[in-house]
Amino acid sequence: MKHLHLIKVEYLGATETKGARVKITSTRHNKSKVIPFDYRFDNALGVAKDYLELDLKYTIEATCELSQDGLQGVLVKEFTELTPDKGIFDENGNRLY
């Protein structure tokens, strides 16, 4: 049986001061990160998967539904904290690629 790291994914709607966002939470480290919603994707799970694969270099094994409240999960092989490699973002938080 494989041991995997569960990342919870939650959509955060736009407010008067902030655009739509996606909150990802590591169940292993009990830490979360909020990332901007990328409108190339039609849902929070797509945004989270893109961030986890491209920015954190995680290997996604599976996705799952966690509750009726729209919470979803991503199961990854890596057990590191949600910290991207340096040099991925500019000083304003925008991707460099």
How much is the pLDDT for 2?
A: 86
How much is the pLDDT for 44?
A: 95
How much is the pLDDT for 88?
A: 63
Q: Is residue 90 part of a domain?
A: no
How much is the pLDDT for 75?
A: 96
Q: At residue 70, does pLDDT exceed 90?
A: no
Torsion 7-14-84-47 (CA) sign? positive
Structure tokens at 16: 């008067």
- What total number of domains does the chain contain? 1
Q: Is residue 47 part of a domain?
A: yes
Q: Is residue 95 part of a domain?
A: no
Q: At residue 28, does pLDDT exceed 70?
A: yes
Q: Is residue 13 part of a domain?
A: yes
Q: 68 pLDDT band (50/70/90 cuts)?
A: confident
Q: Which amino acid is at 50?
A: D
Write down the mean pLDDT value for the chain: 88
How many angstroms separate the CA atoms of 58 and 29, rounded? Answer: 15
Q: Is residue 89 part of a domain?
A: no
* 3-state secondary structure (DSSP) of residue 94: coil
Q: Is residue 17 part of a domain?
A: yes
Structure tokens at 84: 């991207």
Q: Is residue 84 part of a domain?
A: no
The pTM score is 0.83
State which residues form the domain around 10. Answer: 5-76
